[in-house]
Structure 1
């Protein structure tokens, strides 16, 4: 139980990759805050399942694209658990459009949820992370932030921004024994991928050297490794993409 008494916030933790991360951390002893925006039923189901298995978890609603709500999320965490050691910035949305059809709202909504939220959580959490003896910040970016994607200028810009943010913050916080890293998933079997037409999914799969999509648990393993064993790893991109981008 290597993360016993550690407290983690997982944004977008009610489903998919976030849910898998929450379970992986809890099973190693961490107390987990499941942040959600609109998926209240799913978030509470995750907490109920974790509690039934003997783990400590709390569901907290907050739109992490909004600074004051994010600040309240961190305050609720401290109020309930008394400390904060791990931030996993997983919340994300897509509004895929070709650029000529991309509206201003499509741009700002994706940038705010995927990128501004990372500033919001780190800003609100930093005073508490500095009190931890070995804190972690892990940002869930994407292969799209590295390689680009058709009809995804907004999403690609946000995910690439997370990578640059990670590198700079890692340099600043290294002296405080806080590591900051990015995990970059490829195409993962989640609700987001399920919305892609089958013929398009087959075309994508054909481009992946491993010839399959990844699983949420495989992303969670990378996050867990950084939390448990990543003391000398900071400012890095951990690619979990089946060889799609090397």
Structure 2
């Protein structure tokens, strides 16, 4: 089976369409959405509906922290620690989603175990506390918290790959986009495909990945799309200018 891995769509229709077009040309059997379907971008209704379509076609999806945030009430928002610009996008998004779309997000699980794989937005040790896997120590903690051999996470907007070491801990590996990386069965792995909707590694091209379960290989992909158009839509919606700028700069 070939899995299309899509993380942190962040209501970016242009990036989502470009990645799905690329992935369909390459061929995949099931889409896996790793959380944060909404937030930051100008097309939350479309991305929620597209997520529903992918699930209807046999795909899987987990809950992200921005998905959770749009379902909270105003009183809970007062306790939020989110950056003001992120909170502004959440408030705006909340007013755009229908009751059915909100119910869809609310029904998503925090994590999914699928054969030897774990799908989760943030990490395996506390999926709903939203801790980041930003280094090898955190990767090792997540790997140790699950029995699954391969973990796929979103949340971190930079693509990365970690593997277990015989002496303990984890090691970071930077795969080359477009090149299939064998995830050796003698190791345990944690893969961060990177953000589809808001990359932050200095490259505005959208991130996604393909995992071949038969070959045990992972291919990270970078997909160019019209990020200027997506940025203009953010500005036209009255959302913070910094969110548009991030798409253009990829930071």
TM-score (norm 2): 0.35
| Structure whose residues are more often helix by fraction | 1
TM-score (normalizing by structure 1): 0.36
Higher relative contact order (CA 8 A, sep 6+): 2
